[in-house]
Chain A
């Protein structure tokens, strides 16, 4: 019997709609992360959007967003992009994940995209960028290794 998650992933990939996949992960659903599929160009990268809410603040004095929430956005972007562009039937397992914080994350919306740097038969290497006002001024970059699961 196919598991619920495998079915969900297969349906999302065939429909080209990945929001239900994000919403099936409770923490991501709670954070309210949205995904936008490229409409005109199917090979383009997915764009992940974290709308601002006061609950995602990490430093109320500045104020600045929580570093963990930025990490969650970028990690999720990596997981979903690998599933989509590499047609993975299951959620890969993250081996390691490293974020460089480049600018303070202001109390506003964030976006992220993930580039699959190298796809092996067992391990994927990815790089993720996250920005707020302008895509050319990233607030954080990340790299990770993902273990692919049969």
Chain B
């Protein structure tokens, strides 16, 4: 189990009251079997967004002739990162259910570089969360894919909501 160390706190620009929820979310992600299986890493978590990294491995290749990453790898990373953004926005680790996730593959993704996913929960209503996630390669500003998702968060006791966040 990955322990939250003091040095991690540099990337967490959030009020101290939220640290325990963020810490729980990171620990949750680090213990998701498939996140570990693929090697996904939580890079940073903020109050309504999450950044995750998927270090490059040959396992991620889909088209060996053209050296492209397999599309479903990007989808898996987008799914994981979008869920983390919702946990951050909720500020508590409750059970959430993905209602839908849509991804647009904007361009082929070249093999050989780490994948970076950044997801924002841009609207948190009382029962439903809305997310947007962009994926790119390490060292590049070109976006490879964009995913939008909706999540059901249950009838929450907390009244924390987020009105629309603009990019």
Which B residue's beta carbon lies closest to that of A6? B65
Knowing A27-B60, A27-B70, A101-B100 touch, does A66 contact B79 (C-beta < 8 A)? yes
Chain B 14-37 interface residues, beta-carbon cutoff 8 Å to A: 31-37
In the bound complex, residues from chain B placing their C-beta under 8 Å from that of A58 are 32-35, 79-80
Binds A, one of B3-11, B41-49, B102-110, B157-165: B102-110
A98 contacts chain B at the CB level, 8 A cutoff: yes
Interface size on A, residues (CB 8 A): 37
A96 contacts chain B at the CB level, 8 A cutoff: yes
Which A residue's beta carbon lies closest to that of B37? A55
B34, B62, B64, B101: which has the most chain A beta carbons within 10 Å? B34
A42 contacts chain B at the CB level, 8 A cutoff: no
Contact B32 A72 (CB under 8 A): no
Knowing A68-B76, A71-B79 touch, does A99 contact B101 (C-beta < 8 A)? yes
Interface size on B, residues (CB 8 A): 37
B58 contacts chain A at the CB level, 8 A cutoff: yes
Contact A98 B63 (CB under 8 A): no
Contact A68 B63 (CB under 8 A): no
Which A residue's beta carbon lies closest to that of B76? A68
Rounded to whole angstroms, the CA-CA distance of A67 and B151 in the bound complex is 12
In the bound complex, residues from chain A placing their C-beta under 8 Å from that of B127 are none
User: Which of A60, A67, A94, A96 contacts B33 (CB under 8 A)?
Assistant: A60
Distance in angstroms from B105 CB to nearest chain A CB is 5
Contact A25 B101 (CB under 8 A): no
B130 contacts chain A at the CB level, 8 A cutoff: no
Rounded to whole angstroms, the CA-CA distance of A62 and B60 in the bound complex is 27
Rounded to whole angstroms, the CA-CA distance of A12 and B107 in the bound complex is 28
Contact B75 A30 (CB under 8 A): no
Knowing A5-B63, A68-B80 touch, does A27 contact B73 (C-beta < 8 A)? yes
